[in-house]
Structure 1
Amino acid sequence: MSRPQEPHRPFFPHGNPFRMILPKGSYLSPKLQALLNKFEETLAVRLRKLIPKHNNEVLSLSWMVLAVQLLSETHNDIKSLITELELPVVDWDDKWIDVYLDNSVKLLDICIALCSELSRLSQGQLLLHCVLRNLDQNSSTDILKVKSSIDSWRQHIGAKNPRVDNCFPIIDKLMESLELPKVKNSAKGKTLMRAMYGVKVQTLFVCSAFISAFTGSDKKLVDLRVAGTHLWAEAFNHLQSFVNGEIRNLVSSGRNFLLKDLESVATSVCELYPMTQGSMEPLETDALQKSIAGLGKKADELSSGLDLLAKEVDEFFQIVLSGRDALLGNLRVSSSVLDSPKKYRMDEQHVR
């Protein structure tokens, strides 16, 4: 399968990628229009679900878990739409297939990077458990261990993960792919490409927000302009404006961590740390016990949230991987079918 030889053209945020796909006067049958409307209306509902009610929900683990769950549902929906369109792989344009396969690899790379970061953060929780366990022992020797564990935790959590930083150029490439290849005179193809645009926009939004959360940077936060002709445009534009605005506020305020649950734990650690300084005598103050209890609760919440998010990211990884494998499998089958008449004729000539 050949890839386009021309270089990638830049993404134009002020343009409408569908000026080529659904030009004025394009006609879709009532059945195709109904399928497309159903897909877009469902996407709009999902995007509205993701609009936070309060600023402090942005980049919380519970919000991020919901974001991946809804993204997985949309990727499953596009699989169902392809089935309902009854559009055989042999009818797919080579450029569609190239873009899909290329994007799926990039999404798998992002998932691997996110899982790597979630695993790294979970490893930091072991140091917090050491802090809490030594505080429970409450001896002068254990207080020294507490200080050491806190310092190690701060160093571990503050370190950069190069795998996540490597997602920046991947986001750029995904942005470029929004300008979809031209579609031949196929109503089904146009329907599929319009739906795929919605999938790409939701995917880009979620990925860029997550990368910002784990890098503490908003430099690759994407701002997309979605035309009002899409039934989900209003919901998406509201969601993007709310979330991106809050992320930029967090970055400009100089926060050490954009991930809300991690920031909450870090605040508790900062409150606890001064209480471990000075005298090596056992610590018995009410303030200390309250601080220990608060840190223990927040650390448990962070651990469970990280585990749940890692599970959802892994499930999304499997969805993307299975979709890619299914397409490759269909391509192999289609290739065999197309080659079989030729092979039959050659065999027949050999018999003669």
Structure 2
Amino acid sequence: MSRPQDPHRPFFPFGNPFRMISSKGSRLPERLLSLLISFEETLAERVRKLIPKDSDEVLSLSWMNLAMDSLCETHSGVKNLITELEIPVSDWDEKWIDVYLDISVNLLDLCIAFSSQLTKLNQGHLLLQCVLHNLNSSSPKQFVRARSSLDSWRQHINAKNPRVESCQSILDNLVRSLDLPKVKNSAKGKVLMRALYGVKVVTVFICSVFAAAFSGSAKNLLDLSISDTLPWRPAFSDLQANVNGEVRNVFGCGRVTVLKELDAVAVSIKKLYPMIQDGLEPVEVEQFKKFIIDLGKQEEKLSEGLDRLTKSVDGFFKIVLTGRDALLCNLRETGTESMVGSNSEQLVGR
């Protein structure tokens, strides 16, 4: 349940995406219907794989890595669908191009924000390495240095990241883009727009969870209301309910940080910190050593998780970027770039 001070932001789509396929006189040819069904079944299966088996998975770096890898596969899948639909860029409606390009810009901005936060967290790794090095010394001066490094780590981790703070407005832009442009007299266009709708919904939701985790604010979470007629809706609803519910529970319990691996490091530090204030009593030495070993293990898990997630976010950035660049190149080659005028110019300059 969400807390009163953290109201979630519902979204109700203005139209039924399924209506584009089933309206009178617009039944899809068998080949196109088969492509759409296959795409949506695959989307549903990817979503089901992200449903956490237990609450400990939510907001763990391993789950976030799985989610980002799933986005990479989904966006690669829609690129393949575009190829299979055999829609020349010259046949694309201006509104389709605007939708595709606007979304890509927002996704690239989110990737930059996420990468910025991951870089920041990785920089904290160096401070923890200094802490561990100093704590393995018996010199009282080294304990003072270790305590200073721990203070610096806490300040570094708790400092706000302006790029992450901007995620909410970017997510709002993406939510507004969920309303699909109308497609007339193009069966292929209807398939494309409906497939893009599914991709957008899943992408916006996962990015909202990332933004919440990195910003430490449940305000970034989204609750998206999806038409019952969409075949991937049950899996998505289960995923959204499970993940959002647990994220809000985590925010409500007052943890130092919501990322599981980062919180484990913070807990280890909390145990160690009082023991290096004024030196060690002999009876505390063995317990002190155990705490150091535990911190080392938790720090290693955090570092490995951050490295994997950084690579996944970079991979997603490249997929979005190459897809956008390929479309812009095709627009130039076919002389249709003028159709999107200022939008294209903005994108080329970014």
TM-score, L = length of structure 2 = 0.90
| 1:286 positional shift | 1.0
Matched letter for residue 18 of structure 1: P
| Superposed counterparts of 1:193-204, under 5 Å | 193-204=193-204
The two structures, once aligned, show a CA RMSD in angstroms of: 1.9
- Please state whether the residue corresponding to 1:223 is helix, strand or coil: strand
Equivalent pairs, count: 328
Matches within 5 A, 1:135-146: 135-146=135-146
Question: 2-side partners of 1:83 and 1:193: how far apart?
Answer: 14
Map of 2:71 onto structure 1: 71
Unpaired runs of 5+ residues, structure 1, are: 1-10, 339-352
**Which residue is 1:61 aligned to?**
61
Runs of 4+ aligned structure 1 residues displaced above 4 Å come to 280-284
1:17-36 matches, cutoff 5 A = 17-18=16-17, 21-22=20-21, 24-25=23-24, 26-36=26-36
Whichever residue aligns with residue 212 of structure 2, its letter is: S
Query: Which residue of 1 is the match for residue 222 of structure 2?
Result: 222
Q: Which amino acid aligns with 1:13?
A: F
Q: Report if the CA contact (8 A) 2:41-2:232 is conserved.
A: yes
**1:13 has 2:37 as partner:** no
- Give the percent of matched residue pairs that are identical in Structure 1 and Structure 2: 56
CA–CA distance in structure 1, aligned partners of residues 50 and 18 of structure 2: 28
Q: Residue 94 of structure 2 corresponds to which residue in structure 1?
A: 94
What is the Cα deviation at residue 229 of structure 1?
Answer: 1.8
Deviation, 1:282, is 8.6
Q: Is the 8 A contact 2:11 2:223 kept in 1?
A: no
Q: Secondary structure at the match of 1:310?
A: helix
What does residue 285 of structure 1 align with?
Answer: 285
Shift of 1:24: 3.1
1:257/1:263 contact within 8 Å kept? yes
**TM-score, L = length of structure 1:** 0.89
Tell me, what secondary structure is at the counterpart of 1:18? coil
Q: 1:103 maps to what in 2?
A: 103
User: 1:313 is paired with a residue of what secondary structure?
Assistant: helix
Give the aligned partner of residue 3 of structure 2. none
Q: Which runs of 5+ in 2 are unaligned?
A: 1-9, 339-350
Deviations 1:71-102 (A, max 9, x none): 00000000100010011111111011011111
Q: CA deviation at 1:12?
A: 5.3
Deviation of 1:20 after TM superposition, in Å, equals 6.2
Compared with structure 1, are the counterparts of its residues 337 and 305 closer, same or farther at alpha carbon in structure 2 (3 Å cutoff)? closer
Q: How does 1:103-182 map to 2 (within 5 A)?
A: 103-182=103-182
CA distance in 2, matches of 1:275, 1:337: 65
Equivalent AA in structure 2 for residue 169 of structure 1 = S
Contact 1:59–1:258 (CA<8 Å) still a contact in 2? yes
Contact 1:264–1:298 (8 Å) recurs in 2: yes
Larger Cα-atom Rg: 1
Q: Read off the aligned partner of 1:251 and give its amino acid letter.
A: F
